[in-house]
Amino acid sequence: MTLVEQYRKPAGDLRAKANTAEIASRDPMSKWVIIGWIISFAGAILWLYGHFEIGSPPLGDWSFEPLWVARFFRNIESEAGTAVSITGVSLISWPHLR
């Protein structure tokens, strides 16, 4: 018997079997998580709008940062979109809101 044959598992059902008790004990998604997802998507849309549209100048002076940062925050809309997205993500991942 070779080493490969010794540790080869017999062919069987490869699908994972769901534990119905575990699924039933999970809490449904809270309203704060749903609100966080909505806010995060709204921030991503605002950032995309600011990234592809010419708007007002940015709030911060990004000339001292690397070039990719200056391109990421082109105007105030992209900065606000990033802030809104971070706010939404914090609502999703905040431990006591679950």
pLDDT in tens, 73-93: 889 999 999 999 999 999 888
pLDDT in tens, 18-75: 555 555 566 677 888 889 999 999 999 999 999 898 878 888 888 888 888 888 888 9
Nearest C-alpha neighbor of 87 from the set 53, 14, 13, 37: 37
Please state, in angstroms and rounded to a whole number, the distance separating the CA atoms of residues 44 and 69: 16
* Whether the model pTM is above 0.75: no
Could you give the percent of the chain with pLDDT greater than 90? 31
- Which token pair is 61? 């002076």
Query: In which residue are the tokens 């914090």 written?
Result: 90
